[in-house]
């Protein structure tokens, strides 16, 4: 995908905070060297093509009452992987559901982030899933410390 | 936080209008003016509820590749190893977790080989005894937001 200098600047700006003013896209355009209309049609085009996953608000979920989150890892048989992944993806309290490679050192294949008000609520949800999906080998890993969380910064190196 | 704030947070986590005057459009949906939407967002941000209002990009669509990696780090090497890992701009998230693999981080780079080099570098130059590379093979769901309960 070939991007212009202006487009790269716009992608950088979109990873920061949108200005809280009446016409924020007009303002982004001023900074990127485009008109507000061009910014709007660019973003719409990128949403369509999947370059932009979402424009919206990212909240501090711990502060908003979702105190506990656990990364549950599941040892799911290969032939059941896709159907199990699709079923777990339906759950309201699961925010991420991915498959990742299994290895001898780490036998787990399916990964889900489970959110709840408390640690016990997350563990209870994991137990319920293990039972309904008949998965014997699983773990719930809670984070004990957030060591780094930066908004993903693509195109920070100078390449335009 | 009042009910209008909760409505605003729920709505904007789903989608932010990409139009000339987006805050006016949001105001119409929750029954206020655009100016009040901006004031409420400023206040929610100051009180720490909001991390960011902006876009999330798909690294893969822009020629980047990403992975989740896990490392086993003995307690006596933990601080120095964390500092080393966090110093890479390619590493955007890093968590300590209660497992034998106790350090979990995401890496974003231009190629799989660049990711491999970073992981080898970490294994070689820190107290980590093992580092495993866990790139996603399927995506079943990526977070859309957290619903806050609104009054009826």
For residue A86, what is the nearest residue in chain B, using CA coordinates?
Answer: B140
Cβ-nearest to B58 among A18, A53, A144: A53
Across the A:B interface, residue pairs with CB atoms under 8 Å apart total 220
* B84 and B36 both lie in a single domain: no
Residue B88: which domain range? Answer: 59-133
Contacts of B54 in chain A (CB under 8 A): 14-18, 55, 58, 151
Is the model's pLDDT at A101 over the cut of 90? yes
CATH class for the domain made up of A68-142: alpha beta
Q: Please choose, from the candidates A73, A74, A81, A13, the residue with its C-alpha nearest in 3D space to the C-alpha of residue A46.
A: A13
CA atoms within 13 A on the CB side of B75: 2
**Which sequence spans correspond to the domains of chain A?**
5-49, 68-142
Residue reference for tokens 């212009």: A4
Residue A158 pLDDT greater than 50, yes or no = no
Q: CB–CB of B140 and A88 under 8 A?
A: yes
Asked if B10 reaches chain A (Cβ–Cβ under 8 Å), the answer is no
Span B31-66, pLDDT tens digits: 999 999 999 999 999 999 998 999 999 888 999 999
Instruction: Kindly list the residues from chain B whose CB atom is less than 8 angstroms away from the CB atom of residue A144.
Output: 96-98
Q: Count the domains in chain B.
A: 2
The 10s digit of each residue's pLDDT in B85-117 is 999 999 999 999 999 999 999 999 999 999 999
Q: Is the complex ipTM higher than 0.95? A: no
Distances, alpha carbon A118 to alpha carbons A10, A70, A93, A111, in Å: 39, 10, 12, 20
Give the CATH number for residue B78.
3.30.70.920
Q: What does the DSSP 8-state code read for residue B58?
A: -
Among residues A99, A152, A116, A112, the alpha carbon closest in space to that of B146 is found at A116
């Amino acid at each position: 995908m070939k991007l212009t200098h202006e487009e790269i600047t716009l992608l950088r700006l979109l990873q920061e905070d949108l200005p809280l003013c009446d016409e924020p896209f007009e303002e982004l355009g001023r900074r990127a060297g485009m008109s507000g209309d061009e910014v709007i049609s660019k973003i719409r085009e990128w949403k369509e093509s999947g370059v932009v996953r979402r424009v919206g608000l990212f909240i501090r979920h711990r502060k908003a009452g979702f105190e506990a989150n656990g990364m549950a890892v599941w040892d799911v048989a290969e032939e059941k992987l896709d159907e199990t992944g699709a079923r777990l993806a339906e759950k309201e309290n699961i925010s991420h559901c991915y498959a990742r490679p299994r290895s001898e050192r780490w036998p787990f294949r399916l990964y889900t982030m489970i959110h709840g008000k408390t640690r016990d609520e997350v563990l209870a949800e994991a137990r319920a899933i293990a039972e309904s999906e008949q998965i014997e080998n699983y773990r719930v890993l809670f984070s004990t410390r957030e060591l780094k969380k930066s908004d993903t910064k693509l195109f920070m190196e100078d390449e335009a | 936080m009042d009910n209008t704030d909760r409505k605003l947070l729920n709505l904007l986590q789903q989608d932010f209008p990409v139009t000339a005057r987006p805050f006016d459009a949001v105001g119409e949906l929750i029954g206020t003016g655009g100016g009040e939407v901006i004031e409420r967002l400023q206040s929610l941000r100051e009180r720490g509820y909001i991390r960011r209002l902006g876009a999330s990009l798909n690294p893969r669509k822009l020629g980047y590749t990403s992975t989740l990696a896990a490392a086993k780090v003995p307690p006596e090497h933990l601080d120095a190893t964390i500092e080393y890992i966090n110093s890479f701009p390619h590493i955007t998230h890093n968590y300590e977790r209660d497992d034998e693999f106790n350090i979990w981080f995401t890496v974003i780079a231009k190629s799989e080989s660049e990711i491999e080099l970073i992981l080898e570098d970490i294994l070689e130059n820190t107290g980590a005894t093992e580092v495993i590379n866990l790139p996603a093979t399927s995506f079943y769901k990526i977070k859309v937001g957290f619903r806050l309960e609104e009054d009826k």
